[in-house]
């Protein structure tokens, strides 16, 4: 049974929803799954100024925070993160940087990784964010498992071969129908993880 950590960062809920869809599909595919959030390190005053951010933090307060132990435990990962100027949010960068000890010990080699993203407009950096995250994975010696064009759901979701991405309006509504693409990506990640780790 593949052990899959679905690690997300979400300030207002989009990437949490993507992570939950991925969890559902990964469990259907037979994986042992943990859904984990990247620790929040934004200043309290910034969060207080955004009611949707504060509300989402409160709604997900019981979701466990991802740790290096989780990175070591899992055979594979799905990351779901918003884009910040074409890159991962600072919270995610801090989390990845803190894995340096595991990297140094070779404990991240051959982990299978896939990623998803969101932004407020169609060309807001989703693809760049995913490929920037994958650059870190190359340093880990991980095996990147993109969805490519392996299922029609990818075209219906906007056609991003690097990982499912979604556009979200100012009210938090997803502009593309990505649920099927997320679930396909999760099942594909489980399949590849099984091929690498359970043969």
Q: Which domains does the chain have, with CATH numbers?
A: 3-197 (3.40.50.360)
Radius of gyration of the chain, Cα coordinates, nearest whole angstrom: 16
CA-wise closest residue to 185 among 147, 159, 157, 136? 147
Q: In terms of Cα–Cα distance, which of 129, 130, 103 is closest to 114?
A: 130
pLDDT in tens, 136-188: 999 999 999 999 999 999 999 999 999 999 999 988 899 999 999 999 999 99
Look at residues 189, 186, 167 and name the one whose alpha carbon lies nearest to residue 83: 167
Q: Is the pLDDT of residue 53 over 90?
A: yes
Residues 143 and 196 sit within 8 Å (Cβ to Cβ): yes
Query: Per-residue pLDDT for 57 more than 80?
Result: yes
Q: Rounded distance, CA 136 to CA 42, Å?
A: 22
Could you report the per-residue pLDDT of 58-110, keeping only the tens digit for each?
A: 999 999 999 999 999 999 999 999 999 999 999 999 999 999 999 999 999 99
* pTM for the full predicted model: 0.97
Residue 78 DSSP code: E
């Amino acid at each position: 049974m593949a052990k899959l950590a679905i690690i997300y960062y979400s300030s207002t809920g989009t990437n949490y929803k993507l992570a939950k869809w991925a969890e559902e599909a990964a469990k259907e595919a037979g994986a042992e799954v943990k859904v984990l959030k990247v620790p929040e390190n934004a200043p309290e005053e910034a969060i207080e100024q955004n009611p949707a951010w504060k509300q989402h933090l409160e709604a997900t307060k019981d979701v466990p925070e991802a740790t290096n132990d989780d990175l070591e435990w899992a055979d594979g990962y799905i990351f779901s993160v918003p884009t910040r100027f074409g890159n991962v949010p600072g919270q995610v960068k801090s989390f990845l940087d803190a894995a340096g000890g595991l990297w140094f010990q070779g404990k991240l080699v051959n982990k299978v990784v896939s990623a998803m993203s969101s932004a407020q407009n169609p060309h807001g950096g989703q693809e760049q964010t995913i490929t920037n995250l994958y650059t870190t994975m190359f340093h880990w010696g991980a095996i990147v498992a993109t969805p490519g064009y392996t299922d029609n759901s990818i075209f219906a979701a906007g056609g991003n071969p690097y990982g499912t991405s979604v556009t979200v309006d100012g009210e938090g509504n997803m502009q593309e129908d990505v649920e099927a693409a997320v679930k396909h990506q999760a099942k594909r990640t489980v399949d590849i993880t099984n091929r690498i780790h359970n043969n």
